[in-house]
Amino acid sequence: MTIRLQQIRLREIRLPLVEPFVISSGVMDVRRILLVELTDRTGTTGWSECVADARPNYSPETIDTAWWALREWLAPRLLDRTLDGPDAAAPLLDEGVRGHRMAKAALEMGCWGLAALLEERPLADVVGGIRDRVPTGISLGIQEDPARLVEKARAAVESGYRKVKLKISPGSDLEYVAAVREALGPDRALAVDANAAYRPEDADRLARLDDFDLLMIEQPLAAGDLVRHARLQERLATPLCLDESIVDVASAEDMLALGSGRIINVKPGRVGGFAVSRAIHDVARAAGIPVWCGGMLESGIGRAYNVALASLPGFELPGDLSPSVRYWARDIVRPEWTMSADGFVTVPRERPGLGVEIDLDRIDDLTVRTETLAARAAA
């Protein structure tokens, strides 16, 4: 099925989180979300989401750099080009443009979503997914004190989540993790995520996390520190999981070669889209390394892509794929994303495309700017 884009529309919406989300490098409260509407020559329109945040605290990209990159460099190279399929998008976007992976991913994934609509197949099938439902974990932001974190972790377990991940930073770590492990008991899957807040000199402190039987420690050190992560992994019994460090297939291969970790968090936005996500999944699987799908506080549109990706066979561990109510008073898709009492999100395999309807009225109400990029009119 070929794709030929006639128009790409960028749109910024502001969507307030139900509670601020605090990680080691900053706070997110009202999310500024860049949505992309891709229309092909048949008039079919698909939607996608760019996961870049307002500030460059997780990655160097922001919604504003992504907007710029999409308008100036990325959209023009897809408009009016015939793609043999969604797999053809990534190489075109990479040609002569380094980085800007979140901006690229928004377009690349949009091509996958559009292909699913054009083929009248569910997105999960088009990307090669096999699961009907995906296990789900919650990511809890840093709280003011351990008691508040314990309360949230207990509530999460009660609502069915199959994994609880705690954001940590030096100082908001050992005491918090100890309190939650104590409250949840030894059998609950518990993980921590440092978002690169530690330095190699903190190895002694990090080694104390071995006491809590964690499923993993996610991204303790800086993104580029693959060698230092390998040294740290040698000291720790707990598996390290890399998030920010894995930006392409090569970094995943380097992690495996160096032993920088034993688990990979795959976020399609971070690596430039579905094609690379799938390639990382394949490399990890061949090496016997589990992967899971991370989240970036996506709206219901980005979530549809994550859920589809998480239905691939190697996504064995629960993903950060919380239902809509975890984030928003009201989502921008219908039905909203829900989770079963035993912690699974259903992969919508009965419906073509994303499997959810876009709530255009709601989106219009939330929109603060738009820009339409069109193929040049034929002379």
Write out the catalytic residue numbers. Answer: 167, 267
Site for ligand OSB in 55-94 (CB under 6 A): 58
- Per-residue x/- track, 113-142, ligand OSB (CB under 6 A): --------------------------x---
Q: Which does 320 bind (CB under 5 to 8 A by kind): Mg ion, ligand OSB, none?
A: ligand OSB
Q: Is 37 in the site for ligand OSB (CB under 6 A)?
A: no
Q: Which stretch binds ligand OSB (CB under 6 A): 108-116, 225-233, 290-298, 355-363?
A: 290-298
CB of 377 to ligand OSB, least distance (A): 40
Q: Which amino acid, one-letter code, is at 223?
A: A
Report the DSSP beta bridge partners of residue 33.
13
Q: Does 320 bind Mg ion (CB under 5 A)?
A: no
Please name which of 247, 328, 357, 269 lies closest in space to residue 18, comparing C-alpha atoms. 328
Q: Which does 198 bind (CB under 5 to 8 A by kind): Mg ion, ligand OSB, none?
A: none
Of 5 and 276, nearer to ligand OSB (C-beta) is: 276
Nearer to ligand OSB, 261 or 294 (CB): 294
Among 37, 40, 243, 331, binds Mg ion (CB under 5 A): 243
Residue closer to Mg ion by CB (options 243, 359) is 243
Query: Applying CB under 5 A, does 193 fall inside the site for Mg ion?
Result: yes
Q: Which residue has the tokens 């990706």?
A: 309
**344 contact, one of ligand OSB, Mg ion, none, CB 5-8 Å limit per kind:** none
196/366 with CB nearer ligand OSB: 196
**In the complex with ligand OSB, which residue's Cβ is closer, 75 or 246?**
246
Closest approach, Cβ 140 to ligand OSB, in A, equals 9
**Virtual torsion, Cα 56, 358, 1, 97, nearest 10 deg:** -10
Residues 209-238, one symbol each (x = binds Mg ion by CB under 5 A, - = not), give: ---------x--------------------
Residues 228-247 as x/- pattern, contact with ligand OSB by CB under 6 A: ---------------x----
- CB proximity list for 115: less than 8 A, separation 6 or greater: 1, 3, 85, 86, 126
Radius of gyration, alpha carbons of the chain = 20
Size of the site for ligand OSB (CB under 6 A): 12
Angstrom distance (rounded) from CA 316 to CA 114: 27
Of 341, 343, 337, 339, whose CA–CA distance to 355 is shortest? Answer: 337
- Let me know: does 261 contact 241? Beta carbons within 8 Å: yes
The count of other CB atoms within 10 Å of the CB of residue 364 is: 11
Exactly one of 49, 320, 331, 359 binds ligand OSB (CB under 6 A); that residue is 320
* Interface segment toward ligand OSB; rule CB under 6 A; list 144-152, 273-281, 292-300, 347-355: 292-300
User: If binding is defined by CB under 6 A, does position 319 make contact with ligand OSB?
Assistant: no
**Tokens read off for 168:** 């940590």
- CB of 322 vs ligand OSB, minimal distance in Å: 5
Min separation Cβ 363 and Mg ion, Å:
27
* C-alpha–C-alpha distance, residues 170 and 155, integer Å: 25
Which residues, numbered 195-214, are part of the site for ligand OSB (CB under 6 A)? 195
- Residues of this chain that interact with Mg ion (CB under 5 A) are 193, 218, 243
Residues that bind ligand OSB (CB under 6 A): 23, 58, 139, 193, 195, 243, 294-297, 320, 322
